[in-house]
Amino acid sequence: MRLEVGHIFIKDIQFGTESKIEDGVLYVSEEAVKEVVLEDEHIKSVKFDIARPGESVRITPVKDVIEPRVKVEGRGGVFPGVISKVDTVGEGKTYALKGMAVVTAGKIVGFQEGIIDMTGPGADYTPFSKLNNFVVVCEPVDGIKQHEYEAAVRFAGFRVAVYLGELARELTPDETKVYETYGIKEGMEKLPGLPRVAYVQMLQSQGLLHDTYVYGVDAKRTLSTIINPTEVMDGAIVSGNCVSACDKNPTYVHENNPVVHDLFEEHGKTINFVCQILTNENVYLADKQRSSDWTAKLCRLLDLDAVIVSQEGFGNPDTDLIMNCKKIEAEGVKTVIITDEYAGRDGKSQSLADADVAADAVVTGGNANQVVVLPKLDKVIGTLDYVNTIAGGNEHSLREDGTIEVEIQAITGATNETGFGYLSAR
**C-beta of residue 9 within 8 angstroms of C-beta of residue 96:** no
Q: If we measure between CA atoms, which residue out of 147, 132, 266 comes closest to residue 199? A: 266
**C-beta of residue 245 within 8 angstroms of C-beta of residue 62:** yes
Q: At what angle do helices 285-301 and 316-330 cross, to 10 degrees?
A: 30
- Is 242 part of the annotated catalytic residue set? yes
Q: Distance between CA 254 and CA 373 in Å, rounded? A: 29
Q: At what angle do helices 146-166 and 30-37 cross, to 10 degrees?
A: 140
Q: Distance between CA 6 and CA 161 in Å, rounded? A: 16
Q: Which of 138, 242, 246, 275 is catalytic?
A: 242
SS3 category, 152:
helix
In whole angstroms, how far apart are CA 225 and each of 111, 194, 200, 317, 327?
31, 23, 10, 18, 16
Helix (H) or strand (E) holding 155: helix 146-166
Q: If we measure between CA atoms, which residue out of 392, 378, 365, 342 comes closest to residue 120? A: 378
Q: If we measure between CA atoms, which residue out of 238, 70, 235 comes closest to residue 163? A: 70
Q: Distance between CA 76 and CA 231 in Å, rounded? A: 11
Q: If we measure between CA atoms, which residue out of 402, 426, 340 comes closest to residue 117? A: 402
Please state, as a whole number, how many other Cβ atoms lie within 10 Å of the Cβ of residue 68: 27
What 26-35 contacts at long range (C-beta under 8 Å, 24+ apart), as own/partner pairs, is 26/97, 26/100, 26/132, 26/134, 26/164, 26/167, 28/134, 28/164, 32/163, 33/160, 33/163, 33/164
Q: Which residues are catalytic?
A: 242
